[in-house]
Structure 1
Amino acid sequence: MSRPIRTIAGVVAALLLAGACNSAATDSSSGKGAGGSVRGVTGDSIKVGGIVSMTTATGYSKKDTDLGARARFDRANAEGGVNGRKIAYLGAQDDGQDPARNLAAARKLVQQDKVFAIAPMSSTTFSGADFLQQQKVPTFGWGTLPSFCGPTYIYGFGGCMVPMPGGTISQTWPEGLKHVTGGAEGKSVAILANDSDAGNFAIRTYKQSFATAGYKVTYAKPSVPATSVPSDWSAYTKDILRSNGGKAPDAVVSVMQTPYNIGLFTALKRGGYRGVLTDPTDYDPSLLAKSATKQALDGVHILLSFQPFEQENAAMKQFKADIRKAAGKEVPLNMHMMTGYMSADLFLSIARKAGKNLTPASFQKAAGKFSDSGTMVGDRAEPKGQQESFGCGALVQLKDGKYVVSAPFTCYPPIPFK
């Protein structure tokens, strides 16, 4: 996010928060309405909403995150709900990947719709985080933003993926890549991200992560404009292909979204690059519908922080059945569905442990000693997950028009973040 946008978002946040604090109609900071009842909780229901980037300037969409959450909540309701209460899921607000709209969506869900929790929250911007924390709204999403690391009411379904100093870094990506490159000894990587707060943080994190795993990091820059996909990638590919002492690195790591990856990887291949390409976003069968996209992403290894769809077990069979039922038909699976599903699943798991007397305080008390094991994101524990990731993941490769597991779902010890 650029400095002007951060400044504007900060001013908007201050104004909205001031309005919230001065409202006589709602005492949101205690999680209670004017009548003293708990916001979003009745005798037979719990109101939940979501915030998802369904539309973006680049055309990238996370809309299926909403379907994933709905599928998990539908099954919970079919099984009787949570401690006698059904989940009233309002669906997801579209923030358009815009900071002002993200905050506005958070404010609407809390102050107008009176939700108890937000699950999922899936966007590359999370300007509503401070507001939700102050209003004591349990919020669940993919912990790939700093706001998921530290605030007590905000939870990453796979833990904190981008920790602050004093936290830890998941080693899933570099350790998984060792399966592909035959180890890290003597191998080099180049890392590229967008010119944004998230991109800067990603470079800082993964530069340390890959170096600790034994790779030589020859290039690490958050230099690609975050507001539009470049039409000419030559300035980036030229630097990357010469970064390893005048020659190409063994692997190129892109911490960007699909439209950027298509442009970057196509340009690298046209430039004669034959090394490993990897990113954390392109696990989506719908991308295979267009031959140009399929060609651009062919051979790419994609990082997953959850069990691959191709790795079957009872939990995965249940996930597929739930998605099929919620969609009303067979649909191609993608990582956004898993984001919504596991965000909802973590909320439900903690809410059950909170008991019948559900309040923000009882929810937090249950979260403070929550743990389970064997989920599709590994073993979960809170509040550990607000400081570090659960450390599990896999790599899949797009090969000949289909995804295959290139590094199996495994959990790795994290490293200290410096």
Structure 2
Amino acid sequence: MPRLLHVAGLALVPVLLIAGCNSSTTGTDDTNDRSDTSASQGPIKIGGVVSKTTASGYGKADTDLGAKARFMMANDEGGVNGREIDYIGSEDDFQDPGRTITAVRKLVQQDKVFAVVPVSTVTIGGSADFLNTNKTPYIGWGTLPAFCDKPYGYGYNGCLVPSPGGTVSTSWPGQLASVLGGGEGRTVALLAQDNDAGKFGLRTYQQAFPGAGFTISYGKATVPGTAVPTDWSPWVGEIMSSNNGKAPDVVVSIMQTPGNIGLFAALKRAGFQGVLSDATDYDPSLLKQAAARETLQDVQVFVQNMPFESTLPEMARFKEYIAKAKGEPVTEWNQSMMVGWNSADLFLAIAKQAGPNLTVDAFQTAAANFRDTYALVGDRKFPEGRKESFGCAAMVQLKGEAYTITSPYKCFPTVPFS
């Protein structure tokens, strides 16, 4: 059996809120041409790099658990083209650029992994250069430029960081339109933090929402990025009169949970009767916090993976193997588990298509024209996924002490991004 690391933890990764790219030393001074190297006829060695530990205490350790579970399921089903996956676990880079390159170098040069899966760290930038130079495939959630237009980098749901001339998904506004019965004639206010990620997110959604028929009545990235405001009245006042003196139909927060809770509570106190939406508050841990649970009631949360409330057999298998990999019953599910699982699943799907003689060249050839549909992610396709998102998502809503699916998981078209 492959070596597997036992990991646990809880972490949520905000959608499109970490689009900035942290750089580090590229470390491309000694490279290896791996283009024709094989994973041998024995086990296929895979390792990942994950920010399990961070200075804020908000780590992503369960990404490792998700990958472990998916590779375990693959081995139980006979491996990939009859070959077992030797998952050696994920290195903890502590979300530090220097440690990221050290971890990546270890995996490639010392451990001799065939691919780095999963990758879940915002400090992958310079290390991605090393991976591409050393012809090492790597897979993660495509929220960073390292997964976009790079020959060996793959986002399991495509590239979520559009560049001018590319495209942007209409999945968030499309899902809101589904909930509302259409976006035409509806107004939306967008609010983000005053930092690079917030400004980028605002710019992205200012172009996406009109594509689904919405009219943007308000769009600003002016919330301080260093501390959550205690007084939200300046923003609430502007939002409540932004629709020709009236409140908009929808308020979308492009912020993380603390900002969302502060803004939504203030809007409710001001009498806002429309729809509130964000992309980060699908988190079972919030249900244990009375104030958060009350504030987030009825908020429409945009989710880029199949919701855990799904009754599909693929979700049942996910839950079965997460518990099996952890070695104990699991009652709380989180985004990090899904990031690890889906990263591993994409690797397995491409490797299967590449055939039993798995070389880097064979993997790259298979990936170059890859097409499939996987229930927990939706439609997957490359090379399109190097430049655009696959555009699949669901909408969930907190009702009482449980989340419910308000719009099922489905895929949406993209629109030009400038």
Q: TM-score range, shorter-chain basis? A: 0.7 to 0.9
| Contact 1:324 1:331 (8 Å CA) reproduced | no
User: 2:187: which partner in 1?
Assistant: 188
Residue identity matched to 1:375: A
* SS of alignment partner, residue 329 of structure 1: coil
Residue identity matched to 2:108: V
Show the 5 A alignment for 1:265-304.
265-304=264-303
CA pair 274-100 structure 1, distance change in 2 beyond 3 A: farther
1:74 to 62, 72, 79: 72
| Contact 1:394 1:408 (8 Å CA) reproduced | yes
User: 1:113: which partner in 2?
Assistant: 111
Matches of 1:113 and 1:249, distance apart in 2: 55
User: 1:142: which partner in 2?
Assistant: 141
* SS of alignment partner, residue 281 of structure 1: coil
TM-score under structure 1 length normalisation: 0.85
TM superposition shift of 1:223: 3.5
CA pair 352-264 structure 1, distance change in 2 beyond 3 A: same
Matches of 1:279 and 1:199, distance apart in 2: 13
User: 1:206: which partner in 2?
Assistant: 205
The number of equivalent residue pairs is 397
Residue identity matched to 1:413: P
| Contact 2:37 2:359 (8 Å CA) reproduced | no
TM superposition shift of 1:403: 0.8
| Contact 1:57 1:227 (8 Å CA) reproduced | no
Which sections of structure 2, spanning at least 5 residues, go unmatched? 1-19
Greater shift, 174-183 or 95-104, is seen at: 95-104
Residue identity matched to 1:320: K
User: 1:318: which partner in 2?
Assistant: 317
* SS of alignment partner, residue 260 of structure 1: helix
* SS of alignment partner, residue 254 of structure 1: strand
| Contact 1:48 1:117 (8 Å CA) reproduced | yes
* SS of alignment partner, residue 306 of structure 1: coil
TM-score under structure 2 length normalisation: 0.85
Matches of 1:260 and 1:95, distance apart in 2: 27
CA pair 205-126 structure 1, distance change in 2 beyond 3 A: farther
Show the 5 A alignment for 1:13-32.
13=25, 16-17=26-27, 20-21=28-29, 23=30, 27-28=31-32, 30-31=33-34
Matches of 2:264 and 2:96, distance apart in 1: 26
Residue identity matched to 1:202: G
Matches of 1:230 and 1:93, distance apart in 2: 36
User: 1:174: which partner in 2?
Assistant: 173
1:161 and 2:160 aligned: yes
Matches of 1:246 and 1:130, distance apart in 2: 50
* SS of alignment partner, residue 366 of structure 1: helix
Which sections of structure 1, spanning at least 5 residues, go unmatched? none
Residue identity matched to 1:329: P
CA RMSD of aligned residues (A): 2.6
TM superposition shift of 1:100: 4.5
CA pair 119-414 structure 1, distance change in 2 beyond 3 A: same
Show the 5 A alignment for 1:96-135.
96-127=94-125, 128-135=127-134
Matches of 1:238 and 1:350, distance apart in 2: 51
Q: Deviations over 1:323-360 (max 9, x none)?
A: 12112213312222111111110011111122233222
TM superposition shift of 1:103: 4.0
User: 2:242: which partner in 1?
Assistant: 243
User: 1:372: which partner in 2?
Assistant: 372
Matches of 1:54 and 1:265, distance apart in 2: 30
CA pair 374-84 structure 1, distance change in 2 beyond 3 A: closer
Residue identity matched to 1:269: K
Q: Which has the higher helix share?
A: 1
Residue identity matched to 2:344: A
TM superposition shift of 1:216: 1.6
